């Protein structure tokens, strides 16, 4: 299993884990208290896929509009039957991604400290794998080897098969976690642990499943669909609409940026603290590719137009969001590496903490405590606005993402309060805004 390169930093054991005790196998037990406990987790296991199917049906069967099931047949139609063609498409895509992930060279990077203090090694080759995948995809489409509209016609069956694969993978991971006899931060409650996961970093050598599925499959499949959906419009209508160009180009910028800064993922909550269970498996295999491209799916069934000035405004809005998002994240990372490095051309103002590290008070981190979330949300809104005001369905990304980031800010605030104590209170006094400077 996981090959740790260092087990030194036990002081890094997070507050999350401090609340757990130890089971008889020596692994950490945690209370089943997230998402409303076992009942909440069990409900979400079915609710989250149901939302995805509902949204697919809104696009594919109801012209992109919200709908109310009027009969059992309506509900059943929400679940498209799997097809052999869809199974083949998904199979080829997953096998190709795994093969590329294994053979394409990449730099060897050490991840952040896990709750146990361990640091794992990762091979980062996501950018090269994504570039090769998109190049092959474009060549296949341009030479007529396959048609984008044929893939889009299989979106429903692809959703069903991807969901089944997600349930299968999560079940396998659950059994893996239990068989190891060392459940990592599990509660012992079956539905809760199935949803949250029983294993933190399942891996074969350097091939880390959670990292691979988040990066190559989640972000990579989202990127592939951001190419396939406009290509389908081109095949069907002979041209690309302005909204389609704006949405896909902006999303591809975000996805390429993710791969350029792939190493950032190694210090994020998902990788360091969250077990790999159904919640994340479904997010990477299903939620991200299908729900993050609802805008383009909507634009295919409900063509909209956009005046050139509005397109320019939305691109400017997206770029402004991107600059805030990228620059704020870079400011913090550079500050962590070199606390003396100037911020916006001036020596940084900082707050020394009892914990030994400093908090940045300059730049974006002096305007609000999470301007990086503001940047992310600005981009998300610009992608949705490009679809016009004909339906709320293409706004789903923003409507789900905003509460997610607002909640994430609260959780990070709690974690930082536990990490930094009174120093965090002082930081909050000096930087009173949470996400939006002067407003929130
Ligand atoms: P952040 O990058 O915001 O990191 C929070 C951590 O930074 C804190 O726990 C603290 O950790 C450190 N920190 C906080 N304030 C300061 C400061 N003033 N100076 C120095 N360090 C500070 O967290 P996320 O992982 O949530 O977000 C990373 C990016 O990922 C964001 O841009 C977010 O928008 C994006 N994101 C995107 C998602 C998506 O689905 N597209 C989902 C979630 C996030 P410490 O002090 O221990 O270093």
Is pLDDT above 80 for 20? no
Is pLDDT above 60 for 22? no
Q: What is the pLDDT of residue 27?
A: 55
CB 402 within 8 A of CB 437: no
Looking from the CA of residue 332, the nearest atom of ligand 1 is 20
- Distance from the alpha carbon of residue 154 to the mean position of ligand 1, in angstroms: 37
Strands (DSSP E) along 48-137, which ranges?
107-110, 119-124
**Ligand 1 atom 16, closest CA:** 359
The string of pLDDT tens digits covering residues 246-260 is 999 999 999 999 999
How would you classify residue 344: left for phi > 0, otherwise alpha for psi between -120 and 50, otherwise beta?
A: left
pTM of the model: 0.89
Best of 370, 374, 426, 430 for a ligand 1 pocket test (most atoms within 8 Å of beta carbon): 370
Q: What is the pLDDT of residue 183?
A: 58
Q: What is the pLDDT of residue 5?
A: 32
Ligand 1 close to Cβ of residue 12 (< 6 A): no
Q: What is the pLDDT of residue 424?
A: 93
Angle at 249 between CA 244 and CA 254, to 5 degrees: 130
Ligand 1 close to Cβ of residue 254 (< 6 A): no
CB 292 within 8 A of CB 58: no
Q: What is the pLDDT of residue 268?
A: 85
Ligand 1 close to Cβ of residue 255 (< 6 A): no
Q: Could you give the angle at which helices 294-301 and 37-61 cross, rounded to 10 degrees?
A: 30
The whole-chain average pLDDT of the chain stands at 89
Question: Which of 346-368 are b and which e, b meaning 16 or more Cβ less than 10 Å from the residue's Cβ?
Answer: eebebbebeeeeebbebbbbbbb
Ligand 1 close to Cβ of residue 408 (< 6 A): yes
Is pLDDT above 60 for 18? no
State the Cα–Cα distance between residues 129 and 196, nearest whole angstrom.
29
The lowest-confidence range among 93-97, 181-185, 383-387 is 181-185
Contacts of 337 (CB under 8 A, 6+ apart): none
**Ligand 1 atom 24, closest CA:** 268
- Distance from the alpha carbon of residue 81 to the mean position of ligand 1, in angstroms: 40
Residue range 165-194: average pLDDT? 86
CB 289 within 8 A of CB 222: yes
**Ligand 1 atom 32, closest CA:** 372
State the Cα–Cα distance between residues 217 and 203, nearest whole angstrom.
16
Chain centre to alpha carbon of residue 293? 13
The string of pLDDT tens digits covering residues 276-321 is 999 999 999 999 999 999 999 999 999 888 999 999 999 999 999 9
* Count of CB atoms situated within 10 Å of the CB of 95: 10
């Amino acid at each position: 299993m996981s090959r740790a390169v260092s087990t030194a930093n036990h002081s890094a054991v997070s507050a999350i884990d401090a609340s757990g005790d130890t089971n008889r196998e020596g692994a950490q037990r945690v209370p089943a208290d997230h998402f409303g406990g076992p009942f909440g987790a069990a409900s979400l296991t079915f609710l989250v896929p149901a939302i995805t199917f509902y949204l697919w049906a809104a696009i594919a069967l109801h012209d992109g509009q919200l709908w109310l099931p009027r009969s059992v047949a309506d509900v059943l139609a929400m679940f498209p039957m799997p097809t052999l063609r869809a199974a083949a498409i998904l199979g080829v895509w997953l096998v190709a991604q795994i093969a590329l992930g294994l053979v394409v060279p990449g730099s060897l990077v050490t991840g952040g400290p896990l709750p146990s203090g361990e640091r794992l090694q990762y091979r980062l080759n996501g950018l090269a794998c994504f570039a090769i995948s998109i190049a092959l995809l474009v060549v296949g489409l341009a030479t007529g080897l396959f048609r984008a509209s044929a893939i889009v016609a299989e979106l429903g069956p692809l959703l069903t098969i991807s969901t089944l694969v997600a349930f299968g993978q999560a079940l396998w991971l659950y059994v893996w976690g239990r068989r190891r006899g060392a459940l990592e931060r599990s509660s012992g409650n079956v539905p809760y642990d199935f949803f949250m996961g029983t294993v933190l970093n399942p891996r074969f050598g350097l091939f880390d499943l959670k990292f691979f599925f988040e990066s190559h499959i989640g972000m990579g499949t989202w990127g592939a669909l951001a190419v396939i959906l406009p290509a389908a419009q081109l095949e069907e209508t002979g041209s690309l609409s302005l909204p389609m160009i704006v949405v896909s180009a902006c999303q591809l910028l975000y996805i390429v940026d993710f791969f350029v800064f792939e190493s950032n993922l190694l210090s994020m909550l998902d990788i360091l603290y969250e077990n790999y269970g159904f919640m994340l498996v479904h997010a990477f295999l299903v939620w991200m590719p299908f729900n993050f491209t609802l805008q383009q799916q909507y634009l295919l069934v409900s063509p909209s137009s956009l005046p050139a000035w509005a397109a320019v405004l939305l691109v400017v809005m997206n770029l402004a969001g991107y600059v805030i998002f990228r620059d704020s994240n870079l400011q913090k990372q550079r500050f962590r590496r070199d606390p003396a490095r100037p911020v916006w051309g001036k020596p940084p103002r900082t707050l020394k903490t009892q914990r030994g590290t400093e908090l940045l008070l300059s730049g974006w981190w002096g305007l609000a405590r999470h301007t990086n979330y503001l940047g992310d949300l600005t981009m998300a809104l610009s992608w949705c606005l490009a679809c016009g005001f004909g339906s709320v369905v293409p706004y789903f990304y923003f409507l789900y993402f905003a509460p997610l980031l607002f909640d994430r800010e609260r959780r990070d605030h709690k974690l930082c309060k536990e990490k930094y104590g009174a120093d965090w209170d002082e930081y909050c006094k000096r930087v009173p805004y949470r996400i939006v400077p002067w407003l929130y």
